[in-house]
Amino acid sequence: FYRLNVLYPPEFLGEQVFVVTAVEQGEALLPVSVSANPAPEAFNWTFRGYRLSPAGGPRHRILSGGALQLWNVTRADDGLYQLHCQNSEGTAETLVRLDVHYAPTIRALQDPTEVNIGGSVDIVCTVDANPILPEMFSWERLGEEEEDQSLEDMEKMSKGATGRLRIHHAKLAQAGAYQCIVDNGVAPPARGLVRLVVRFPPQVEHPTPLTKVAAAGDSTSSATLHCRARGVPNIVFTWTKNGVPLDLQDPRYTEHTYHQGGVHSSLLTIANVSAAQDYALFTCTATNTLGSDHTNIQLVSISRPDPPTGLKVVSMTPYSVGLEWKPGFDGGLPQRFQIRYEALETSGFLYVDVLPPEATTFTLTGLQPSTRYRIWLLASNALGDSGVTDKGSQITITTPGLDQPSGEPDYQLPTEQPEGPPGLPLLPVLFAVGGLLLLSNISCVGGFLWRRRLRRLAEGISEKTEAGSEDDRVKNEYEDSQWTGDRDTRSSTVSTMDVEPYYHSMKNFSPQLPPTLEEVSYPQGFTHLEEEDMAFPGHLYDEVERLYAPTGAWGPLYDEVPMGPCNPCWPGETYEDSRGIYDRVAGDLDPMEPDSLPFELRGHLV
């Protein structure tokens, strides 16, 4: 047998790989499949005209079989690598492509993108990425929860590294921030923000048909008129008073303008407001290149608030109802709200204060199931309330029954305006009438009992004075007496059970005279005497001494009192010659005037 050795130059085999894929920051291996006899003497790699060192480098090395290994691959390493193989018979060359994949990066995004209202525009997003995929672009609108719903009327397109979002017939609702998202499978996806600006003519805010501002017209107060508008591009404001352009060079007028995106504001401050000059209709006009708009602001005096509007029911249960409304003009003063309601089956109104005062929603509780109610909403400030004549501030509801679910609110506006002023509340009137009747009855009973008490007091005093004798006027020594009273829950009576006279002992007694009548200040009224056991008022006898002083010795109290027929006599008055005791059967006894009463009764009443 003979061995035949055929020599031939290097040849690359069919399994040789010509494209290698790697991810940025990863590793790559460029393999070599070659056949040669004798074996290749050297493998030389060249990239972009530069020969890689056979000994290796910081990020590459050449293996024994000729394969090239790379690490920390970057997108700059992407390209064609040339391999040169050589032996004694000849050489061979081939090209191997390294394809480095990397995450996308947005290179161009027109921000902001502007379009006139009703026009069309493309939002363009250009990226740098590898690989480039046809479905790698997506869009979303910031602030919207559902992407498909917010972009359903927009067209999405892409070609190569450029994606487009096309908007037809632009509307104000489409203005805002949009985000371009690019994802080619290599993390992380790229995101870019772009603002879509829809240009439109000014739109001045009109909180009410006629805005009011209140200020005192005393030439010392100031007022600020606020004009707010939306529009793109920027807006210029002008002011007029009763149709005449306002001279902003006047030091009494100061304007400040603010711009924030598509919202613009103008604040006109009027110093030293005069009722004659400044209580007028001011007009604010907002203008830009696409058009203009205006609003009227009335400067008025401080007044009661306007009625709230838009009163409606937002929830209802058998025992409560939730209300919501829009506040009206506050009259230039802090306002608060109050709810007045009534059950249509009963009489009388109930009132509930809304807390906190600036709230525009409130839950009214304490209702009854299956009951029809009429509800009014009142606004009030320091000058008064708004009244209940406005239909927008009253509703009629029917609460559900306990066996009914609390479904949609059941309420309606009144079909017709109530005629005439509202009637007086019935319950307070009944209480007042009942109280007056009770007081009159008490007065009648008290007067009768008081007259009976005076009569008994007079009779008791008469009996005790007649029991004395002139012979023992000086010898008698009287014991200290007590005034006793029988307790009763309605009135007081004088007890005559004691047989001892109600006199103070006068033995060896030299009294100090009290002040004269002119010096005594009697109270102009009396209070109910406590029915406690107490001594008989001493000053009653002091007055007897002061008016009719005895000539030497102290005797019975009334012996020295000269009595005579009364002149003039009171109605029903009689006279007793023995002791001169007045019998007040009927007449106008005035307990508020002690001087008009007999001195026998004067001290007790005081």
Structural domains for the chain: 8-102 (2.60.40.10), 110-200 (2.60.40.10), 205-301 (2.60.40.10), 309-398 (2.60.40.10)
Instruction: Collapse the DSSP code of 215 into the 3-class scheme (helix H, G, I; strand E, B; otherwise coil) and give the result.
Output: coil
What is the structure's pLDDT at 577?
A: 40
Query: What does the longest C-alpha to C-alpha distance in the chain come to?
Result: 196
Report how far Cα 519 is from the mean position of its chain's Cα atoms.
65
Quote the pTM value: 0.49
pLDDT at 48: 94
Residue 459 has a pLDDT of 63
How far is residue 104's CA from residue 53's CA, in Å, rounded to a whole number? 32
pLDDT at residue 388 in the model: 77
Q: Mean pLDDT per 10-residue run, the chain (606 residues)?
A: 95 94 96 94 94 93 94 95 95 96 94 93 96 93 62 90 94 91 95 94 83 89 93 94 92 93 92 92 95 94 91 94 92 92 89 92 93 93 84 86 64 41 56 80 79 70 47 39 36 36 42 47 40 41 41 42 45 42 44 50 46
13 — alpha (psi -120 to 50), left (phi > 0) or beta? beta
8 Å CB contact between 149 and 158 = no
Q: What is the CA radius of gyration of the chain?
A: 55
Q: Which pLDDT score, from 0 to 100, does residue 96 have?
A: 96
Q: Residue 567: its pLDDT value, please?
A: 45
| pLDDT at residue 448, as a whole number | 78
128: left (phi over 0), alpha (psi -120 to 50) or beta: beta
**The pLDDT of residue 156:** 93
The answer for residues whose C-beta is within 8 angstroms of residue 553's C-beta and 6 or more apart is 473, 474
